[in-house]
Amino acid sequence: KKDLNDGIDTVGGKMTVCQLYEKKNSQRKNIKRATEKGRQYLMNALKNDPLGMRAIDTVKQSDAKEWAIRMSEKGYAYTTIDNYKRSLKASFYMAIQDDCIRKNPFEFKLSDVLEDDTEHKVILTPEQEERLLAFMEKDKIYSKYYDEVVLLLETGLRISEFCGLTTHIDMQNKILNIDHQLLK
């Protein structure tokens, strides 16, 4: 009765998590292929998990946390689970905006539920960088790539940005204009 008085759509709250996620995705079609693949992976994960068939108005925060734990137990990486959680949080936010539910069950920090076991990228130490450049400078094969490697190390450019560089390079003022990148 309180839901009806507050304008909560009790019928809309009966849609499943999979249906909600599909509805959210249908509102943004102009996406890249990789994004579409990611959406398909999450949809498949939801279809293969009890959460996917649950009515959205029955999903509590504890259910969302249990889902994250199950995903981890199935072998999904922490960052993948975090990305999926972010997508589901956005979907449930839409359901709140549409007055289908009151609270977002995905409104929690994943690190409170799972340990972040992400291995962080190891960068070169200044000594390693110096040794690499010294080797390249003297080597007859790799010396031709010396300038390119220096540019990559000094700027932090992604390789696709580096390959897309044009004549917009101001070496005197050390300014690069990155206006595009090469894609597959």
Taking the domains of the chain in order of start, what are their residue ranges?
Answer: 2-112, 126-176
Across 19-23, 93-97, 117-121, least confident range: 117-121
**What is the topology classification, in CATH, of domain 2-112?**
DNA polymerase; domain 1 (1.10.150)
The reported pLDDT for the residue numbered 10 is 63
pLDDT for residue 147 is more than 80: yes
Q: What is the pLDDT of residue 54?
A: 96
From residue 132, how far is each of 12, 151, 174 by CA, in Å? 60, 14, 22
The CA distances from residue 61 to 41, 56, 57, 102, 107, in Å, are 22, 11, 11, 12, 8
| Predicted model pTM | 0.69
- Specify whether the CB–CB gap between 16 and 43 falls below 8 A: no
Structure tokens at 75: 């072998």
Rounded CA separation 173/34 (Å): 37
Q: Over pLDDT 90: what percentage of the chain?
A: 61
